[in-house]
Structures are given as structure tokens and as C-alpha cells.
Chain A
């Protein structure tokens, strides 16, 4: 269980790391699960608002804790260069934004997809979306806010996530850093397990007070059969309630980083 507030037991370094790694793995799984639920919620005719709010609050809570505990692994990696580690675990399928003329006047939306084990052929092509396998260079983001979930009841129904043309060039012009971050590596934030230690204080400062916003996972996710693994949950349930300290060496999906990237790109 993700319990906090209990005393940390003294244990040797190995145990500590193991606990921390498992804690962050479980937290990661919970985050993945929550995002998937939200995304599926978004697909329903009329999502249950109470349920959506509760899941969104859980996501926010996890994000806050990750931001509090975590280091900016992915960010530095992406900036650092090759970032070969995470990309191995990344899905190459990313969704390209629609061309500018199809863009609606609302806020630009980007989404991030990066599920381990998701194959190209599992991606569902949809009229509203074009799913294309892109290499690392292509920084396609589709990122929406949960607000769209709520507003469904009030506004017209969205038939998928609206796109923006987020080409590499465009992002490149907005921010060099953003473009770099918008590489394939960042997409794997959901599944990044291990990364190089260390963080860039400058980046942290830059991204320190960004609002946590929500992500609209692409509709192609529904084509996926892979669900967060069952294993961790059983482990979770039986895990003694202890707040495992998160060490720098473990990696966590930092949605906040994506937030920050988006902030830069969207210019909000």
C-alpha cells in the first residue's frame, strides 16, 4: 500500500533500494492505470463525473508526490543526448497531429503515448487521428486536459482528441529545449524504469512551478490489450505499509516534465 507517515525502518542499502524501486513501480502502475481509466472514461458516452474527478485527483496526488520525490531523470536524459535507455522501452507509435487546417480554435492538445509492449499494428487508425510510426525525431504530442472530460456533458461531444500540428520544426522554433525534450525518449515516461542519476538544477528551476495538467491519452490506446500488469497489485496488496524512500537512481514517469514541455511549446 502506498502508505505514508510511518516511520522508515533502518535497513541496509540494498533493501532500501528494493523497497524504493518497488514503491515507485507500484506508484507508476497506479498512475498508468488511472490514466487509462480516465482515457476510457473519456470514451464513454457520458462519463460518470464523480468517478472521473476521483481518478483525476488520484493522478494529481501521484504527480505531486512524484514531483516532490523524483528527480528529472528523463528531462536530463533527453537533453543529454542519446537517451538510448528509455527508448528501448518506448513505443514507436506516436500520433501525429493533424494538419493545421484541421486544427480547431480551442486549446492545442497533445497526447503522449508510450506503452511498453505496444506494437504498431495494435494502434487503431481512426479518422480523427492518424497514427504513424515515427522515429525519435518526431515530437508528436497530444495532450489534453481533464477539463474536456468534464465538459463533455456541457459542450458538444468531442469525437476524439483534437490535434495540432506539432511538427518538429514548430516546436523547434518555440524552444530548443522543448524540441529536444519532444523526442521519442520523453514518450516513454510512462514506462521508464531506470535512468541515469543526476538532475539539472536549472531545468528544475525552470519547471518548478508548473501546473499539473492532465493528459488525454490517445484513442489508439483503446486498441491495446495490454493492461498494467496484475503482478504489482498483488504485491501491492500484501506489501507492508511503509513509505519507501525513493532514491535518485530509480526512475519515475514525470508527467510534470511533459507539463513543462507543453508549457513551453504551448506558450501558456
Chain B
């Protein structure tokens, strides 16, 4: 991506705008569908809101592909586990779209315990003229029926309805952190802290456990799984990351239980920066395969690393997201910010990677030009259709104009979730309960 297009963006629309932030509205996941036509968000209240891109029209070229609400539905409800006396949160942890195979759209959404397959379909016609029931649906008195008629389809207003087609439950003891659809489009994996389960999209009462890192004695537990993803092309390959900063690549052809990895990606620790927080900040919060399938990106607390799948010893690129926080780790540990799980995304061509930070900042790194930019997702600092101004965090003594000092960063404003359109330069950034959509400047 050229520098120009990286730095100049239009703030397209502010959606789900609330003056006050109710906790249920906090966005917990954002995902474009494979064509980029739809954008789904999940929130803490268990709702899924799907946005659809407007068709470009000649009459209004400036409204180039804005995203408008297409469908809203309650995906998960709070549940109570009676056996353990625990409440199961309805927060949507992840949404993953299935590639479109017919007129309907399908997505998987998950909370801590249950994965659901939702079908989103349009209905713009309905049958009218039934013999046995009238228009309201009430059964007609048979004695009043004097003639037969054939029902006809009448046009109605467009209705988008979402129906739960499958519910995959009772397979996870611990909290689900990831789901990933296989390239075979028939199976998917769901991952919790200690296990990865393989499902067939058609079968809900059976799942296969393919990775299990639970120790016999839970007191020996020192490592958990933090994320897992299928390879984008190889349907037998999956990768999972751990809280110790390592990634394991597994081949399902090798054996049924993939406890032994094929490849192990871990960078040796730098002894000069070692501290009591080293392990915590090395914990990987997100992994993403590149679209090409050649690279793997990992996000830990302070950096984003790009790994070549052919080289396990160290990443090919390391990008510092907010290294100025390295001296603040103790405070961040105290206020729990050190446990924040940031996600990372590739752009469509794998040339740019993006991840979030604090103060509603998010960062983009161009892998080819090695340039990076910090942008801000906030209403106060940018107006709709205004070009985003690059931001800078002042680390030295003297603060220049418009720079933000480390001490004035707002750690409650964090960008954990974001998404990049699969083909175009359109990004969706979630900041608490607000969703920001940015795209390239229209020239």
C-alpha cells in the first residue's frame, strides 16, 4: 500500500452511535465476510449486527459503498450452568463467516460455551391465497370454503431473517476463545483454553477432540491455548498459540490427536529485557494466517510478529506496537491492562498488517516499505469524511504539538477488535461500543 493511501482515509460512517456506553453494547468481535459485502459485529449482550455494503450507484458516487445495517439478531442468551452454579456469559467471542454458496449467508458465532450456525436470508415474497387459512393465519371454517384457489407469491418488503440452523454445545469445559472454518467448508474447529475440537458443520451432537493440553494434575498447569486457526488452503493444517508465546503447527493427517506438533514456532527470549512480566507479555493474544498461507502473524502484548511457516526459529519481521509501554508494565499489570487481548489482521494482499492499541489508537505496518502509521478512532478528533491524521506518541522528553504523552494515554480506550476488507482498503475498527469504518480516499 502506498504511503498516501495509508495516511489518507475517509471516515465513512459512525454506526451504533450511543451517547452513553451500556456494557451490553461493547463490541466484542468484528468480521468481514469473504466477499466483503457483509460486515458482522458481535457484542457483549450476545447480539450480532450485520451490515451490508450499499451497491454503488451512479447517481450518488460519493456514497461509495457505505455499510448499512442489514440484520440484527440475538445470537446468544445468558445461560446458567446449574451443575456448576455458574453463569455463562452471552458475550460473542468470535464470528466467522462461511463462504457464500447460495443466496443465503451463513456465519458461525460463539460465546464461551456454545457455537451456533446462523443462516441469514432474504425474503421479499410470500405466498398468498391459501385455501385453509386466511391472511392472518387463522384457520378458516371449512364450511365457508366454496371454491379452490392456487396460492400465488406476492411481493413484499424485503425482510432479512436470521435463523439458527445448528447449535453446537456441550463440548467445552473451558471458555471458547476461537473458531475457524476449514478450507474444506465442511468442518471447523472450536478452541478453548485447553482443548481444540473438530466439528462437522452438519453434525451437532459429535465433535472430535484433536488437541488436548490439559495436564493430569491441574496444579501442573502452566500454559493455555490462546488462539487457533486453520490454514487457509491446507485443510489438514492448523496452528494454535499458547500463553507462553509459542505457536504449534499441527497436521491432522499425522494422527488423530494432534498433541505432538509438526512445527514449533518460538523466539528465544532476549535476556536483556527479561523481567517478571516477560512471560505475560509474550503470551500470544491472536494468530492469523496470511491470505497466501505462507506466513503466520502473532500478536503479543507489545509486538506483532510475522513468521514464515518454513522457519521456526524466529519471526521474519517484528513490529513494535507500543514499545513505550515497556517501562509501564508494572502499572499495567496492576490495572490488568497487561492481560488485554489485542487482535491483528492482514490486508487482502498481505502487504499491510494492522492491530490496535490504547487511547483508541490503531497501528498499521507496511511490510514492504517498512513504514508504519498510528491512527485514532475517535469522534472528537475526526469528522465524517475527513482524512485521518497520523498520531504520534511522545516518548522522549519534549512533547511536540499534537503529540500525546505516554502518561496521558487513556488505557480504558482500547482497540482490541478490527477487520480488513478481503479485497479493498476498507477497515472496520471497534472502539468500545462504537464501530468505525474507514476507507481509502475517493480520488
Chain A: which residue is nearest B338 at the CB level?
A54
B271-305 vs A, Cβ < 8 Å mask (1 yes, 0 no): 11111110110010000000000000000000000
Chain B: which residue is nearest A30 at the CB level?
B276
Shortest Cβ gap from A211 to chain B (Å): 9
**Pairwise interchain contact B279-A6, C-beta atoms closer than 8 A:** no
Please tell me if A157 contacts chain B, counting CB pairs below 8 Å. yes
Q: Which of B221, B223, B329, B334 contacts A150 (CB 8 A)?
A: B221
Q: Provided the pairs A33-B334, A145-B219, A147-B217 are in contact, do residues A1 and B327 lie with their beta carbons within 8 angstroms?
A: yes
**Pairwise interchain contact A54-B279, C-beta atoms closer than 8 A:** yes
Q: How far apart sit A53 and B339, CA to CA, in the bound complex (Å)?
A: 11
**Pairwise interchain contact A62-B283, C-beta atoms closer than 8 A:** no
**Pairwise interchain contact B327-A58, C-beta atoms closer than 8 A:** no
Chain A: which residue is nearest B85 at the CB level?
A157
Q: Provided the pairs A1-B327, A153-B174 are in contact, do residues A49 and B224 lie with their beta carbons within 8 angstroms?
A: yes
Shortest Cβ gap from A199 to chain B (Å): 24
Query: Which residues on the A side are within 8 Å of B271 (C-beta)?
Result: 4-5
Query: Which residues on the B side are within 8 Å of A57 (C-beta)?
Result: 222, 279
Q: Which of A6, A27, A157, A213 contacts B272 (CB 8 A)?
A: A6
**Pairwise interchain contact B279-A50, C-beta atoms closer than 8 A:** no
**Pairwise interchain contact B333-A50, C-beta atoms closer than 8 A:** no
Please tell me if B374 contacts chain A, counting CB pairs below 8 Å. no
Q: Which of B87, B219, B279, B328 contacts A45 (CB 8 A)?
A: B87
Query: Which residues on the B side are within 8 Å of A46 (C-beta)?
Result: 86-87, 175
Query: Which residues on the A side are within 8 Å of B277 (C-beta)?
Result: 2, 58
Q: Which of A146-185 contact B (CB under 8 A)?
A: 146-147, 150-154, 156-157
Q: Provided the pairs A45-B87, A61-B279, A154-B173 are in contact, do residues A237 and B273 lie with their beta carbons within 8 angstroms?
A: no
**Pairwise interchain contact B275-A58, C-beta atoms closer than 8 A:** no
**Pairwise interchain contact B333-A147, C-beta atoms closer than 8 A:** no
Please tell me if B93 contacts chain A, counting CB pairs below 8 Å. no
Query: Which residues on the A side are within 8 Å of B279 (C-beta)?
Result: 54, 57-58, 61
**Pairwise interchain contact B339-A51, C-beta atoms closer than 8 A:** yes
Q: How far apart sit A48 and B283, CA to CA, in the bound complex (Å)?
A: 14
Query: Which residues on the A side are within 8 Å of B193 (C-beta)?
Result: 49-50
Q: How far apart sit A49 and B193, CA to CA, in the bound complex (Å)?
A: 7
**Pairwise interchain contact A58-B328, C-beta atoms closer than 8 A:** no
Shortest Cβ gap from B407 to chain A (Å): 10
**Pairwise interchain contact A4-B274, C-beta atoms closer than 8 A:** yes
Please tell me if A3 contacts chain B, counting CB pairs below 8 Å. yes
Chain A contact residues, CB within 8 Å of chain B: 1-6, 26-27, 30, 33, 37, 45-46, 48-51, 53-54, 56-58, 61-62, 145-147, 150-154, 156-157, 213-214, 228, 233-234, 236-238, 241
- Of the A-B pairs whose beta carbons lie under 8 Å apart in the complex, a sample of 24, sorted by A's number, is A3-B273, A3-B274, A5-B271, A5-B272, A30-B330, A49-B194, A50-B224, A50-B226, A50-B243, A50-B339, A51-B336, A53-B222, A54-B280, A54-B339, A58-B279, A58-B280, A61-B276, A61-B279, A146-B219, A156-B83, A213-B219, A233-B330, A234-B331, A237-B329
